A = this chain, B = another copy of it.
Amino acid sequence: MQKYFISTEELNNRKITSSDAFHIRNVMRSKIDDLIIVACDEIQYKAKITEITNDYVAFLEVEKLENLTELPVNVHIFQGYAKGDKMDEIVKHSTELGATSIVATMMKRSIVKLEDKKISSRIERFKKIAKEAAEQSFRVRIPSVSIETLKKIDFSSYDLKLVCYEENAKNNELVNFKRAIKGLILGQNVAVVIGPEGGIDKDELDYLTNLGFIPCALGPRILRTETASFYVLSSISYELELKE
């Protein structure tokens, strides 16, 4: 069953009018009585298609579905802005792996310098990638995406703050990350800062540790910047969602 995020108005009218209507009609070639999943405001329904026109796809809810696909803690990824199409890759896979938000973060060693006029189009691009990845992975929530500068971010409201630091990996520090994740309580908010390609500047590390961030290694190997968030989110899912 294909899943679609719809607006409150579309849910109230039981009619999908966005570009998803085109997708249902022309890409999936759905027919009357076919089943889809519609999600709105973190609630989702199995629904039956009742009418397909050039302007909309009408549906009727069949069954409310339980939310089983969101991580039990909120993981906010503050990703040092990386070059090329790496940010696209990070937004896509971090969404699949359950991130609550992804903040593309301008840091000292970020090579990319975005002009102001480019920021909004870049955010729109990330939002589209996040929406598609959330639908594909059957999430009920689309992660929020934004672009910020590290030192302008308010980190005061997080329950746990981690900064991935490659010197910890080189020094074979293998305790901090696991101990922190095992100490999490369901519903808590976790901030994870990941440096860009060149890593985290010493000055930024000091700034973050002064704010209560714990430097940690993600295993003994040195991960590329785009791989770090995958390790963080996969491990949190393994620890908190999988059972023995």
- Shortest C-beta distance, A86 to chain B (Å), equals 11
A172 contacts chain B at the CB level, 8 A cutoff: yes
**Contact count band on A:** 35 or more
Q: Do A244 and B179 contact each other (CB < 8 Å), given the known contacts A224-B96, A230-B230?
A: yes
Contacts of A221 in B (CB 8 A): 69, 96-98, 137-139
Other-chain residue from B137, B175, B227 in contact with A96 (beta carbon distance below 8 A): B227
Q: Fill in one digit per residue for A202-244: 1 if any B CB lies within 8 Å of its CB, else 0.
A: 0000000000000000111111101100110011011101111
Q: A115-142: which have CB < 8 Å to B? A: 133, 136-139
When the two chains form their complex, are residues B222 and A93 in contact, meaning their CB atoms are under 8 A apart?
A: no
Q: Fill in one digit per residue for A129-168: 1 if any B CB lies within 8 Å of its CB, else 0.
A: 0000100111100000000000000000000000000000
> Copy number of this protein in the oligomer?
2
Q: Fill in one digit per residue for A170-203: 1 if any B CB lies within 8 Å of its CB, else 0.
A: 1010110111001000000000000000000000
A28 contacts chain B at the CB level, 8 A cutoff: no
- Shortest C-beta distance, A149 to chain B (Å), equals 28
Complex CA distance for A170 and B219, rounded to whole angstroms: 30
Which of A224, A237, A243 counts the most B-chain CB atoms under 10 A from its CB?
A237
A27 contacts chain B at the CB level, 8 A cutoff: no
Complex CA distance for A242 and B239, rounded to whole angstroms: 12
Complex CA distance for A170 and B65, rounded to whole angstroms: 12
Contacts of A133 in B (CB 8 A): 224
When the two chains form their complex, are residues B223 and A96 in contact, meaning their CB atoms are under 8 A apart?
A: yes
Which of A133, A172, A174, A227 counts the most B-chain CB atoms under 10 A from its CB?
A227
A89 contacts chain B at the CB level, 8 A cutoff: yes
Complex CA distance for A138 and B96, rounded to whole angstroms: 28
Complex CA distance for A172 and B243, rounded to whole angstroms: 11
Complex CA distance for A239 and B237, rounded to whole angstroms: 12
Other-chain residue from B138, B139, B243 in contact with A175 (beta carbon distance below 8 A): B243
Other-chain residue from B98, B137, B218, B222 in contact with A138 (beta carbon distance below 8 A): B222
Leading 4 A-B pairs by shortest Cβ distance: A234-B234, A235-B238, A178-B242, A219-B237
Q: List 20 A-B contacts (CB under 8 A).
A: A68-B172, A92-B224, A93-B227, A96-B224, A136-B224, A137-B221, A137-B222, A137-B224, A138-B170, A138-B221, A174-B242, A178-B242, A179-B244, A218-B234, A219-B238, A227-B230, A234-B234, A234-B235, A234-B238, A238-B238
